[in-house]
Chain A
């Protein structure tokens, strides 16, 4: 620790940081624009000026940019110095000479860093009498709105988009006071993280276009801490509601998980909650006419549940609570995972590896710190976008360590860029096609999944001869394996990334062997698995048989009624198998929030709440249990949490009458008591009884408006606000106004800091952990293991079958996920169906790009336009995974390609 003096007062601070972040950590309100805690300093905006004195005697001092100054022992600084203050006020005044008179129609307003900083410096009146500069805007796609007049030239956007996220199509154009931030021409912003521009840009140049369509100010939203539902990483988000509609998703800082950012699927994929396709009311299809009367429904369900043998199909996208309530209802022997046998096996394999204690499951933050990474069979940008961003940081930042040795601090972005030039960390990628991360890779291997697994096994064997080695592996592959093994062995913090995207178990086993071989007793190697859905890991931990076994049990007559929880079974398995499954049940009870093929088959259909209307816990790919909270009480009373319905069903089954139903109680504690593997999940967030000074935490900011008018059209007497029995959050603006515990923080706000940058005030140290620790609880405990066990399941080298192609499910960030596709912008960006084949195969089949080929896959026939991928090995054919036009395929799959007559 170092002692520095600010305005004659001594403070104990961490040396090596910059003065700006130090001052912010100490609670000073020092304005800034270009510095960003995740991106460091460049000293471009001149807003953060302070006075620096030579020593105690020095009274003159000099003005320095605090973001470019390193904290040193015995520094004398002044934030309040009149010259420094005047300097800061003047900088804002200059910026404002060209700023448009837009706040009233600017979507940034009320959460605008520029507004905050202007008020902070005290600039109130425009003295400049001349004309304002103006720009033309660009069309940037369905997600981001562009309003260039509002730019203050801080360069944050391009630094984020190009340097941090690796985007290519946003840049700065023109010169001097005419600089322009945009694309070379109108068009969709291509980068998967473009939505973060809305948060990174301190002004309203880049704003969220989906929010604009139903615009609400930050202060008018009812917000809750939530977890992204659109992939397995579980990024932390803030979800905001107004007038019964979900309106906006922003990132919620969590230093261990997503940091300051989220991907575009997570930010913009929320509109399914407001979709017209929501199931509005319960239906009993066997009764004519359809009836929605609750009494009828309850009587009907009571009859079914108390007389039939019931089986439950759980869901990888439902919360632990919902799945557990189903398990409690049907009993552990009748509880099945709603996933295919392939997926179930992959998940078991992953769980075995992570639970064995032989490897370490890293957080995204730990991934960012890796210095050598090997990716086996994942296209991260499309299957786990934020992990791709973390890998990019790891590769980019690996040389920073060397920079620090010559005295360049880790926050000095400008100097680091100069120092690193094109030095980078080492990345190896093995995936059948090109991926976006390829540009950073030292080596890419575009191979068939079997061959990737074999290379993996070869690497493991070179790291530890006890690990089995594949037979007859080619010389080139051997050389490559040797090179990779050498580099990851040398690395300080090596990392292996693998996953379920290619539905290939051998990959997971190979990755396991590498990580086990690499680890030592003191330091286990990092191994990160990407899994299919947001709660796939949590479901897998609830060990149960897969859908296939469910079908068998049904056939045997072990049950005659099926309850399907939040799961469109037709998505991931062949249609005939599911039809078959359903044909064995007398009644099919389906609980879901959107209509889909499975709900179409239901004899009893129950509408349920989405993540925005329910509370729940999920386990992400890393094994971190995280709680999401209900954002709002839906207008439609039928939108009730799955676990609430299921708990009532359980009571019916036990003979309780509808009039005597009891509340579900604390499901998560019962779950933990029954299944010790979840120990810790109950501590992911404070429980419903938590209070500060006897008060709940308000979901609404203190400026929330319209309380006495928003429902006055229905009845001028305001209804009593709804009460939240399930959490320590309230649905109103009343409650504790101080800092809530991190897992219960519904939004970030501090006096004078209305924008998201107020998160500074919630961190222990700016850029570091949230006060009281980051939310979430890691479930895989550190178990010390002495020996090493290696898996041996080496597949033979891939040889194309005559006349058949091995089909590859190619993930797409927009399109491959079930719920986000209901956002019109995401649907617009989703790929059209295609069939990717190699150049040779195209030649053999005599087709050109875009020409139609017929694909016979299982019992379906598709006509798909060809997409020739030069790098794709022969004998493989890729189709976009799970896009709406291409579901109902059981993976792995072989297909037959022919030219249609």
Chain B
């Protein structure tokens, strides 16, 4: 009997509490920056495409919904020729972001992706690539890699010595 009354009282009190639900979509949801929603491809600080077409995200994806083809520009810089995510399959697990060695692929706090037509859930590179560095500013993979892809010459990276003179026997 007492517990019954206690419950009624608690319920009654809740009527005066702050509301948890919001009148979406009039009011937008506030999401944390690391919320795993829509996937984007970001750019490096110099606004170059970050994705180097290494295929690691595609391999990590448990539902195999990423497909791409790597190609190279005239300087040898690798980038995806096409990059496709089939969001009708994606489970937003974030493994692709975990696997990405260049911070290119990122999950962002946006879930408003509903479509009437399932085919429209297939995103191509044009739909994925944004003009921003996303969550990880400041990183440019080609500046720390060993290859010369037109970003820095051999031995010009921060962590590199100048190229070796192979004609010299001096230590």
Contact = CB atoms under 8 A, between A and B. Distances in A.
B61 A132 contact: no
B131 interface: no
A135 B154 contact: yes
A705 B59 contact: yes
Contacts of B53: 105, 215
A104 B141 contact: yes
Nearest to A707: B64
Contact of A174 (B52, B141, B169): B169
Contact of A708 (B54, B63, B163, B169): B63
- Which of B121, B149, B163 is packed against the most chain A CB atoms within 10 Å? B163
A712 B84 contact: yes
A53 interface: no
A877 to B, nearest CB: 44
B13 interface: no
B109 to A, nearest CB: 23
Interface in A353-388: none
Given A709-B86, A716-B86, A716-B88, A134 B119 contact: no
A180 B166 contact: yes
Contacts of B72: 212
Nearest to B121: A716
A102 B145 contact: yes
B168 interface: yes
B154 A134 contact: yes
Given A105-B78, A708-B63, A132 B69 contact: no
A405 interface: no
A135 B171 CA distance: 15
B155 A134 contact: yes
B46 interface: no
Interface string B143-161: 0111111000011010111
B25 interface: no
A220 interface: yes
Interface in B37-64: 52-56, 58-59, 61, 63-64
A249 B94 CA distance: 34
Contact of B89 (A100, A709, A713): A709
Contacts of A703: 59
- Which of A101, A176, A705 is packed against the most chain B CB atoms within 10 Å? A705
Contact of B146 (A134, A173, A220): A134
A54 to B, nearest CB: 39
A133 B141 contact: no
A147 B146 contact: yes
B145 A174 contact: no
Contacts of B78: 105, 215
Contact of A243 (B69, B118, B122, B164): B69
Size category of the binding interface on chain B: 35 or more
A174 B167 contact: yes
A217 B55 contact: yes
Given A707-B64, A713-B84, A101 B144 contact: yes
A705 B61 contact: yes
A149 interface: yes
Contacts of B141: 101, 104
A716 B59 contact: no
A238 B134 CA distance: 41
A709 B146 CA distance: 31
Contacts of A109: 54
Interface string A748-784: 0000000000000000000000000000000000000
A102 B101 CA distance: 10
Contacts of B167: 173-174
Contacts of B119: 715-716
B162 interface: yes
Contacts of B98: none
B65 interface: yes
A471 to B, nearest CB: 61
Interface string A56-79: 000000000000000000000000
- Which of B69, B102, B169 is packed against the most chain A CB atoms within 10 Å? B69
B50 to A, nearest CB: 11
Size category of the binding interface on chain A: 35 or more
Nearest to B56: A104
Nearest to B81: A214
A214 B69 CA distance: 8
B97 to A, nearest CB: 14
Contacts of B159: 131-132
A175 interface: yes
A712 B146 CA distance: 35
B125 to A, nearest CB: 11
Contacts of B89: 708-709
B58 A101 contact: no
Contacts of A672: none
A215 B67 contact: no
A473 interface: no
Contacts of A243: 69
A180 B154 CA distance: 15
B66 interface: yes
A710 interface: yes
Given A100-B145, A174-B168, A712-B122, A706 B64 contact: yes
Contacts of A180: 164, 166
B169 A175 contact: yes
A272 to B, nearest CB: 21
A844 interface: no
A720 interface: no
B107 interface: no
B64 A708 contact: yes
Nearest to B169: A175
A139 interface: no
Contacts of B58: 220, 705-706, 709
Interface in A290-308: none
B110 interface: no
A164 interface: no
A11 interface: no
Contact of A104 (B52, B122, B155, B163): B52
Contacts of B145: 100-102, 104-105
Interface string B60-95: 010111111111100000100000111011000000
A178 interface: yes
A217 B70 CA distance: 10
Contacts of A110: 55, 59
Interface string A711-723: 0110111000000
B67 to A, nearest CB: 3
B166 A178 contact: yes
A168 to B, nearest CB: 18
A136 B102 contact: no
Contact of B164 (A101, A174, A708, A712): A174
B55 A132 contact: no
Contacts of B56: 104
A705 B55 contact: yes
B144 A104 contact: no
A675 interface: no
Contacts of B63: 708
A553 B2 CA distance: 112
Interface string A168-191: 000001111010100000000000
A597 to B, nearest CB: 35
Nearest to A175: B169
A150 interface: yes
13 contacts: A102-B146, A105-B53, A105-B54, A105-B149, A135-B154, A135-B164, A174-B168, A215-B71, A705-B59, A705-B66, A706-B58, A709-B89, A709-B122
Given A131-B160, A705-B58, 10 more contacts: A104-B52, A105-B54, A132-B159, A133-B160, A176-B171, A180-B166, A705-B55, A709-B65, A712-B65, A712-B67
Interface of B: 52-56, 58-59, 61, 63-72, 78, 84-86, 88-89, 101-102, 118-119, 121-122, 124, 141, 144-149, 154-155, 157, 159-164, 166-169, 171
**Closest 8 pairs (CB-CB, A-B):** A100-B146, A706-B67, A709-B67, A705-B58, A104-B54, A134-B155, A149-B146, A707-B64
